Amino acid sequence: MTTRLGLYIILLPFLLLAFACKPSMSSKLSCFKSSLESLKGQEIYSEIQTAAFKVIPSLKNADNRSVIADTSFIKKWKIDDAVFLNSKRDKCLLLLLEQTSSDMKLDRIEIIQGTLINIAWCFSFGRLPEIPEITYTVTKEIKDGKNLNNSFDALSEKGRAFVLSAGTIKTTGCFLDDNYWFNNEKGSL
């Protein structure tokens, strides 16, 4: 009994340290925001954003339809300024923020993958041929019996948190899981 108690006393500081060192989502988001500000000054960021604004409005999903062109469903949309790069910097993730019609209870965030092919960025809803498209839904607030759209800022923060917390996340920094998002690659933001 004394040996077991001694073992617990020895392990307790390590367990407390492990839980204390796990970053909060707000610290991950803050870290990502700093990394994003640095990325915005780089040529790769402007190349991705320029290509995205040209291609994404006409991009078709797996059902061969332009999701954002369906005005009966999507009322407003915006391409978020967040860019998540893989470690090789030849693939990225973008967030398409979508406020839906007022009769719907959910707003949406489409995860769009970009791939550098030769010297041009190409985009698709699916991350890889064998991995389907990802739509992250966000519940609307109900006020006076009406569904209220989430602000684009709120959708952006929720989408960023989703990407940063999916897969096997690192315990420090604001790294995303390359293996989860980009298949069998190691690295960070």
Give residue-wise pLDDT tens across range 64-94.
Answer: 777 677 777 888 999 999 999 998 999 999 9
- Strand runs labelled E in 24-157: 74-79, 84-85, 91-100, 106-117, 120-124, 126-128, 131-139, 141-143, 146-148
3-state secondary structure at position 110: strand
What are 4-48's pLDDT values in tens digits? 544 444 444 444 334 444 457 787 888 889 899 999 999 999 999
* pTM metric for this prediction: 0.79
Residue the block writes with tokens 């739509």: 135
User: What distance in Å separates the CA atoms of residue 138 and residue 161, rounded to the nearest whole number?
Assistant: 12
What is the reported pLDDT for 131? Answer: 56
Tell me the average pLDDT across 132-141: 83
Question: Would you place residue 100 in the very low, low, confident or very high pLDDT band (cuts 50, 70, 90)?
Answer: very high
Cα dist from 41 to 49, 100, 153, 165, 168, whole Å: 12, 32, 21, 25, 29
Question: Would you place residue 188 in the very low, low, confident or very high pLDDT band (cuts 50, 70, 90)?
Answer: very low
What are the start-end ranges of the H helices in 137-177? 152-165
Q: Is residue 108 a contact partner of residue 158, using CB atoms and an 8 Å limit?
A: no
